[in-house]
């Protein structure tokens, strides 16, 4: 159930670079959660390399195998020679939540459609060779209602099950906890209910 994603970087995207027939190719790879994140990475690349001839993009803004939040663009290169081979390389990596911008400084020598496709695929594969990754665990939200006296015990139980507490709401009758539950864990409230004398309520979404 967990899958690899690019490790977060606060400074800059992961970068790789190579030359082909006097054209300079620079790869920017970063973790993205949405297609908008991928577009922001593209805008950042254009701002940092305004004199480059092309800024091509491919992304998978979800788990490996995602079919909806995906995209690619050729940015003026012949159709199918840049974005698609980049996307295919990303797809083959089985890394999720990932985007790559391939920045090309044209060197004056045309590479042909096959040469372009190979170069843009290499933009991805070369960067992936040294890309730091971390494991991402998909989670689903659950809500529990508990008495005030049970909050500390529920927090301990959540921590034992790697469940993240996202929201806490207090009312006159008790506490409602919203948890991000790891999807590789079976939700079993029996131990928690035993600890809290059967006072735990699972709220339907």
Q: What is the pLDDT of residues 104-136, one digit of tens each?
A: 999 999 999 999 999 999 999 999 999 999 999
Over residues 172-188, mean pLDDT: 94
% the chain with pLDDT above 90: 93
Residue 205's pLDDT is 61
Q: How far is CA 58 from CA 42, 70, 73, 81, 116, in A?
A: 10, 8, 7, 12, 15
E-strand stretches of 45-174:
54-60, 70-73, 98-105, 133-136, 139-146, 164-170
204 versus 69: which is more confidently predicted?
69
pTM of the entire predicted model: 0.85
* Structure confidence at residue 12 (pLDDT): 85
What pLDDT is attached to residue 10? 63
């Amino acid at each position: 159930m967990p899958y690899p994603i690019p490790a977060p970087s606060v400074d800059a995207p992961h970068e790789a670079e190579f030359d082909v027939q006097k054209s300079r190719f620079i790869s920017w790879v970063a973790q993205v959660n949405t297609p908008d994140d991928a577009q922001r990475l593209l805008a950042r690349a254009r701002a940092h390399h305004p004199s480059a001839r092309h800024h091509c993009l491919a992304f998978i803004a979800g788990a490996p195998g995602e079919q909806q939040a995906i995209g690619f663009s050729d940015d003026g290169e012949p159709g199918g020679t840049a974005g698609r081979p980049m996307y295919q390389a990303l797809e083959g990596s089985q890394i999720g939540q990932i985007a790559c911008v391939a920045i090309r400084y044209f060197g004056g020598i045309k590479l042909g459609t096959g040469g372009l496709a190979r170069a843009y695929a290499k933009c991805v594969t070369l960067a992936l060779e040294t890309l730091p990754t971390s494991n991402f665990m998909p989670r689903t939200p659950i809500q529990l209602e508990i008495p005030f006296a049970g909050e500390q015990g529920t927090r301990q139980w959540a921590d034992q099950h790697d469940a993240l507490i996202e929201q806490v709401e207090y009312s006159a009758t008790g506490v409602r906890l919203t948890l991000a539950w790891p999807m590789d864990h079976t939700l079993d409230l029996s131990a928690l209910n035993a600890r809290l004398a059967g006072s735990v309520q699972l709220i339907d979404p």
